[in-house]
Amino acid sequence: MSKKQATIQDIARELKITASTVSRALNDHPKISKKTKDKVWKTAHELNYQPNTVASNLRKGKGNTVGMIVPRINRHFFSNVITGVESVLNPAGYNLIICQSEEKYQKEVENVETLISNRVSGILISLSIETLNTKHLQKIINSQIPLVMFDRTESKLNISQVVNDDEAGAYEMTCHLLEQGYRDIMWMGGPRTSSIYHNRYLGYKRALEEYKVPIEKMHCFEGPSTLVAALEYMRIFLKNNKLPDVVFATSDYMAMGTIQALQEAGLQVPKDVAVAGYSNEPFAALIDPKLTTIEQFSEEMGRATARLLLDQLLSETDEPVPRKIIIKPKLIIRETTRKRKKSNTFIKK
């Protein structure tokens, strides 16, 4: 139909008024008469006018888009954080542009540059597993763009952040395992260069120390936080080592891989070896036996992160004081860590 998008000028020409009046009318400026507003609205509609946000943003020197960088979108945890973020940003009039770093440092740097170039109003980021330095974050700060980190953060930078209390989560889980009577507790997780796995290890360690269980004897596996990595590692491990009482996998996917390896080896969970996970992925409650794990309240994390950003966006002070919000995770005890043997067949009512 329309060859070119209609502009404010087209409306002005049509109505024999000036572009400024049209602009003000469209923005419901109080000094424009009801009559012209109505006319403007009418012809805007007739001409199929769609405001040009990019022109508007350029002129105003700001926009309403915030950028969000996550390692992967298809992790339950992150997609829920995103949902939480949108639930507070959208009502506040902001749109979200989502970028995936795919756990690559290089990609993360590129994402940052794109967002800066697009002059987003703010940036939310959870660091990739590879990210060890923070030059790119410094760029954001230099560009005066409000920044909030979440989940996988870098504490050296003095930036607002919201994190899970991974130390506490791992501590609670380990205590639970110890109370069940397990002593030989194998730890498994992603690279401890990442804050989350580092802290999940610390919590584990603290619990062991409290219970005076020597940590030196424990087996640990640090590798990619995936089902197959755990599966392959455990296949070999089970051939060469004596069985631990329980495997504490600090990721549900690794827990799943562990369970599969145990099953392949003809072992029963939790009778022969117990297993615990972390994150409460949707499948955790669906598998049999049901997986004991840690709930992270990911949506709440998203909301908190977004609120922290909004604070910075709304307060006009140049140097807002950085805040840190810590979300307490919750231990969810299900079947894979039950001390007493239980039937693995379907429950009869």
Residues that bind a second copy in the complex, under the rule CB under 8 A: 1-2, 4-5, 48, 50-55, 57-58, 63, 65, 72-74, 76, 79-80, 82-83, 86, 95-100, 113-114, 116-119, 139, 142-144, 256, 263-266, 268-269, 282-283, 286-288, 344-349
* Residue 331, strand partner residues: 294
Cα→Cα distances 341→269, 336, 338, 344, 348, Å: 9, 10, 7, 9, 16
Minimum CB distance to DNA, residue 40 (Å): 9
Query: What is the dihedral sign for C-alpha 326, 332, 333, 336?
Result: negative
Residue with the two structure tokens 């709304």: 314
- Residue 17 touches which member of DNA, a second copy, none, C-beta under 5-8 Å by kind: DNA
Instruction: Give me the DSSP letters along 286-339.
Output: TSSSPPBEEE--HHHHHHHHHHHHHHHHH---SSPPP-EEEEPPEEE--STT-S
SS3 for 44-82, per residue?
HHHCCCCCCHHHHHHHHCCCCEEEEEECCCCCHHHHHHH
- Encoding tokens for residue 192? 């401890």
Among 2, 3, 16, 242, binds DNA (CB under 7 A): 16
Binding track, positions 258-297, relative to DNA; x by CB under 7 A: ----------------------------------------
Bridge partners of 330, per DSSP, are 295
Q: How far is CA 77 from the centre of its chain?
A: 6
Query: In Å, how far are 38, 209, 217, 269 from 213, measured between CA atoms?
Result: 77, 6, 9, 23
The CA distance from 153 to 156, in Å, is: 9
- Binder of residue 47, out of a second copy, DNA, none (CB less than 5 to 8 A by kind): none
Q: Decide if residue 325 touches DNA (CB under 7 A).
A: no
Residues 53-92 that bind DNA (CB under 7 A): 55-56, 58-61
CA distances from 271 to 180, 231, 283 (A): 12, 19, 21
The residue among 162 and 273 lying less far from a second copy, judged by its C-beta, is 273
> Least distance to a second copy from the beta carbon of 192, Å?
26
193 binds DNA (CB under 7 A): no
Q: Pick from DNA, a second copy, none: which does 265 bind, CB < 5 to 8 A by kind? A: a second copy
Instruction: Sort residue 136 into left (φ over 0), alpha (ψ -120 to 50) or beta.
Output: alpha
From the list a second copy, DNA, none, partner contacted by residue 16 (C-beta under 5 to 8 A by kind): DNA
Question: Considering CB distances under 5 to 8 angstroms, the limit depending on partner class, which of DNA, a second copy, none binds residue 32?
Answer: DNA
Q: How far apart, in whole angstroms, are the C-alpha atoms of residue 334 and residue 284? A: 9
* Binding site partner of 1, from a second copy, DNA, none, Cβ cut-off 5-8 A by kind: a second copy
Binding region for DNA (CB under 7 A) out of 28-36, 170-178, 201-209, 327-335: 28-36
Smaller CB distance to a second copy: residue 211 or 283?
Answer: 283
Task: Candidates 1, 2, 31, 217: give the one binding DNA (CB under 7 A).
Answer: 31
Residue among 92, 259, 246 nearest 178 (CA):
246
Q: Which is nearer to a second copy, 195 or 298 (CB)?
A: 298
Six-digit token string for 4: 């070119």
Segment near DNA (CB under 7 A); pick from 12-20, 85-93, 194-202, 329-337: 12-20
Closest CB to a second copy among 34 and 346? 346
From 13, 26, 219, 334, residue interacting with DNA (rule: CB under 7 A): 26
Number of residues engaging DNA in binding (CB under 7 A): 29
- Residues of this chain that interact with DNA (CB under 7 A) are 4-5, 7-9, 16-21, 23-24, 26-27, 31-33, 35-36, 49, 51-52, 55-56, 58-61
